[in-house]
């Protein structure tokens, strides 16, 4: 799968932008603040969710612009080109719209055409920050393998929010409505938990088979809440406790992703920053291989400022692994020299320069 064309309108720092990359590596270089990460964020919006920055839609619209934005792309597939588009209208800046081949579609429908994985500098603290970030990271991995995961996640969150509102309401509890919401939470929460378990098991098997090299081998596990028995009954039994807490204390939203450095038999949160980066890279590379094996299409990979944190040996090893894997890989960095070891077959763009009628136009 290759993005053959990407165009932005009123997105972040861009009034208009056009990129027409080739397959393989797409290297974006430029000064800090030039807009490199904004381009990766735009690409990340071609899948369900809030993108690699997890920002509000209104924050993505260009300051001083009309209020909305659009991201459009042409995806080259074995069956022909597919037009993908997403964005917001000035009159509804928090309502995302999606079009596929010109027809309105749901964000979930994007997963039928494209899978995207990414690493950003903000994820360097993944193992030290709150469990919610690790769950979001895991769910992104699940989504690439099981597109229906997004539906179950959104339905579970909606039912849980409605139940929380009901429980904290001072009016007498509407037990019939509460039971119905708990049934929805049980249905979609169980599917959510099962999909996470399947992905972790498959990824662990893939990681074991990865060749030895400069990147640490990782092992994944779920800690905290586990699906065990009748989830709906557990929710009903916990109503009084949840009412006192003002939120649901049982469910997959209480799970946490635990990662272990296999070579050192040490939890990731106790590893050095460099080791944590290596663990993340190992997981993303293995997952890309797993998705390609399962679906027959390799996901797009977005690596924001990843080269700056690796020594020359590890940079070269990373580029070699990515080249062997194939697919389109988008990378950003401040210095072109960081990407000297990237194979010559690459699209290299200087985001500091306005190139009209070629690869990128930045206004």
Mean pLDDT of the chain: 90
Helix (H, G, I), strand (E, B), or coil: what is residue 264? coil
Residue, of 343 and 76, whose pLDDT is higher? 76
What does the pLDDT average to over 236-250? 94
**Contact yes or no for 175/169 (Cβ under 8 A):** no
Checking if the pLDDT of 1 tops 90, the result is no
Q: Could you read off the pLDDT of 14-26 as tens digits, one per residue?
A: 999 999 998 899 9
At residue 216, the pLDDT reads 81
Report the C-alpha gap between 323 and 342 in whole angstroms: 8
- Which pLDDT value is given to residue 354? 45
CB-CB contact of 268 with 257 (8 Å): no
By CB atoms closer than 10 A (0-12, 13-18, 19+), residue 324 is: exposed
Of residues 210 and 109, which shows the higher confidence score?
109
Q: Evaluate whether 190 touches 231 at the Cβ level (below 8 Å).
A: yes
Write down the pLDDT at residue 269.
Answer: 92
Lowest-confidence range among 85-94, 165-174, 243-252?
A: 165-174
CA distance 263 to 281: 15
- Examine the pLDDT at 361 and tell me if it is beyond 60: no
How far is it, in rounded angstroms, from Cα 325 to Cα 315?
A: 15
What is the per-residue pLDDT for 42?
97
CA distance 216 to 261: 7
H, E, C per residue of 164-224:
HHHHHCCCCCCHHHHHHHHHHHHHHHHHHHHHHHHHHHHHHHHHHCCCCCCCCCEEEEEEE
pLDDT of residue 212: 66
Q: Which stretches within the chain are classed as H helix?
A: 36-44, 57-60, 131-145, 149-168, 175-208, 231-237, 239-245, 273-295, 312-325
Rounded to an integer, the average pLDDT of 239-257 is 95
CA–CA gap between residue 258 and residue 251 (Å, rounded): 17
Q: What's the distance, CA 273 to chain centroid?
A: 21
271-279 mean pLDDT: 87
Predicted local confidence at residue 223, as pLDDT = 95
Percent of the chain with pLDDT over 90: 71
pLDDT tens digits for range 129-167:
999 999 999 999 999 899 889 899 999 999 999 999 999
Taking only the tens place, the pLDDT of each residue in 167-203 is 998 788 899 999 999 999 999 999 999 999 999 999 9
Question: Could you tell me the pLDDT band of residue 356, with boundaries at 50, 70 and 90?
Answer: very low
Residue 326: is its pLDDT beyond 60?
Answer: yes
For 13-39, the DSSP string reads TEEEEEE---SSEEEEE--TTSSHHHH
């Amino acid at each position: 799968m290759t993005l053959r064309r990407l165009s932005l309108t009123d997105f972040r720092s861009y009034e208009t932008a056009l990129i027409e990359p080739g397959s393989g590596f797409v290297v974006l270089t430029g000064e800090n603040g030039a807009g490199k990460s904004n381009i990766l964020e735009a690409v990340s919006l071609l899948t369900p969710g809030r993108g690699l920055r997890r920002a509000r839609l209104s924050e993505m619209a260009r300051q001083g612009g009309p209020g909305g934005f659009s991201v459009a792309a042409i995806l080259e597939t074995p069956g022909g080109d597919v037009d993908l588009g997403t964005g917001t209208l000035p009159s509804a800046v928090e309502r995302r719209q999606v079009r596929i081949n010109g027809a309105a579609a749901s964000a979930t429908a994007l997963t039928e055409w494209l899978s995207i994985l990414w690493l950003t500098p903000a994820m360097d603290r993944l193992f030290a920050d709150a469990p919610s970030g690790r769950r979001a990271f895991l769910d992104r991995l699940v989504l690439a393998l099981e597109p229906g995961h997004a539906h179950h996640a959104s339905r579970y969150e909606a039912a849980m929010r409605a139940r929380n509102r009901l429980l904290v309401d001072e009016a007498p509890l509407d037990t019939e409505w509460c039971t119905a919401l708990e049934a929805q939470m049980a249905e979609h929460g169980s599917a959510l938990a099962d999909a996470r378990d399947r992905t972790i098991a498959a990824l662990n098997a893939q990681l074991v088979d990865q060749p030895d090299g400069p990147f640490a081998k990782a092992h994944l596990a779920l800690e905290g809440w586990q699906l065990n028995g009748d989830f709906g009954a557990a929710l009903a039994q916990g109503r009084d406790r949840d009412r006192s807490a003002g939120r649901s204390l049982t469910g997959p939203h209480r799970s946490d992703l635990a990662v272990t450095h296999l070579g050192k038999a040490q939890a990731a949160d106790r590893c050095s920053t460099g080791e944590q980066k290596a663990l993340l890279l190992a997981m993303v590379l293995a997952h890309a291989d797993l998705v390609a094996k399962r679906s027959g299409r390799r996901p797009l990979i977005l690596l924001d400022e990843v080269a700056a944190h690796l020594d020359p040996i590890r940079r070269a090893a990373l580029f070699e692994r990515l080249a062997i894997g194939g697919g389109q890989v988008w990378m950003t960095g401040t210095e072109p020299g960081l990407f000297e070891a990237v194979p010559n077959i690459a699209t290299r763009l200087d985001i500091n320069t306005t190139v009209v009628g070629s690869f990128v136009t930045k206004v």
